[in-house]
Amino acid sequence: LRELEQLRLAAGADVDRAHAERWPTADVGAGYTRRSDINEFLIPQPPGTPPVGFLNLPDNWGLSARANLPLYAGGRLSGQIDAAVESERAASLDLDARRRSVILETEDAYWRLLTARESERVLREGLSAFQAHLKDARNRERFGMAARSEVLAVEVEHERAELRRLRAENGAEVAEANLVRLLQLPPDAVIEPTEELESPPPGHEDLEVLVQRALEARSERESLLARVRAAEASVRVAQSTTRPHLGLTAGYLYANPNRNFVPPDDQWRSSWDVGFEVSWRVFDRGRTSAAVARAQAHVEALRQRLDDKERHISLQVTRANIEMPAAHVATRDAEGAVPAG
């Protein structure tokens, strides 16, 4: 559960990252560069005016800032968001399914412990009856009213009953240890069930209704559906490479010398720029088509896994529906046999 919780948190972080792709990015920087000395080229000027030309400026300092905003990415951004959202939903459903599985496993372990304890009690009571029967057989043998073979047969049945009781006792201990593990109790904890075993009445609901209800209630199926939708969004992301991309850029530079000014001089100057960038990949030698084919194959694989999961759930419901009447009859017969033991 802790692992799945961390995976869900990671999927949530992917959603935040996908949404952040729609926002502009900004970078700031500062730097110093030492250039080699060059021969100065100066244009003569009237006396009292600064020289004009290419000066030897080996020391270069600069502060810069730049921002980029994607305006259109061919469906890549929306596809990434959809894929991340569905992946987060799948991770949440996986966590929910695991929680339900742990609850079901714990309930099953509890009822197995209760059943094992009840079986041990019934077999212990039946063993007392065998002991009385064995004592009676030995008494009748002593007075010549029973053959030795009859006593041996009763002894064999007595030993078999004792073996069944020991197996039931061991089964109860194993069931208790498993329940202690699931409940994360101390190893020496003792669990005493308080419920009583009861035989539920057999159901009479339509099989199709039961199957549909099971399909709607199973979190693992919903998780696979979410993964299919995430994979379909990934196909759109792969296809976006073949579409034009449009972005807005802006920058600011404060430097000495600022080489946006010609000729450069030994002064701090600022400059800025704003522009649009359009890019369109017209040839990649099959890279995009291969990526799209891979994404589509992944979608189909997930659909096949979803279909197999639905068939498996349907089989589970059908098997339980078929076995329910027989289990009810067996339980009823066992309940009727307990007083006789």
Q: Are 247 and 70 in contact (CB under 8 A)?
A: yes
- Tally of CB atoms within 10 A around 307: 11
Share of the chain above pLDDT 70, in %: 87
Q: Residue 67's pLDDT is what?
A: 95
- pLDDT value, residue 91: 92
How many degrees, rounded to 5, is the angle at CA 66 between CA 60 and CA 68? Answer: 155
In this prediction, residue 340 carries a pLDDT of: 39
Bond prior to 193 in cis (omega within 30° of 0): no
pLDDT band for position 52 (50/70/90)?
A: low
Sign of the torsion formed by the C-alpha atoms of 16, 18, 19 and 23 = positive
Kindly report the three-state secondary structure assignment for every residue of 288-341.
HHHHHHHHHHHHHHHHHHHHHHHHHHHHHHHHHHHHHHHHHHHHHHHHHHHHHC
pLDDT tens per residue, range 300-335: 999 999 999 889 988 888 887 787 766 555 555 444
Better pLDDT: 206 or 255: 255
Residue by residue, DSSP assigns 228-250 as HHHHHHHHHHHHGGGS-EEEEEE
The reply to whether the predicted model has a pTM over 0.95 is: no
| The most confident of 71-85, 127-141, 187-201, by mean pLDDT | 71-85
Residue 202: the pLDDT is: 56
Across the chain, mean pLDDT equals 83
The pLDDT of residue 273: 93
Q: Compute how many other C-beta atoms are within 10 angstroms of the C-beta atom of residue 71.
A: 11
Kindly state the helix (H) or strand (E) to which residue 8 belongs, with its residue range.
helix 2-20
Structure tokens at 39: 């021969």
Residue 229: the pLDDT is 93
pLDDT at 341: 39
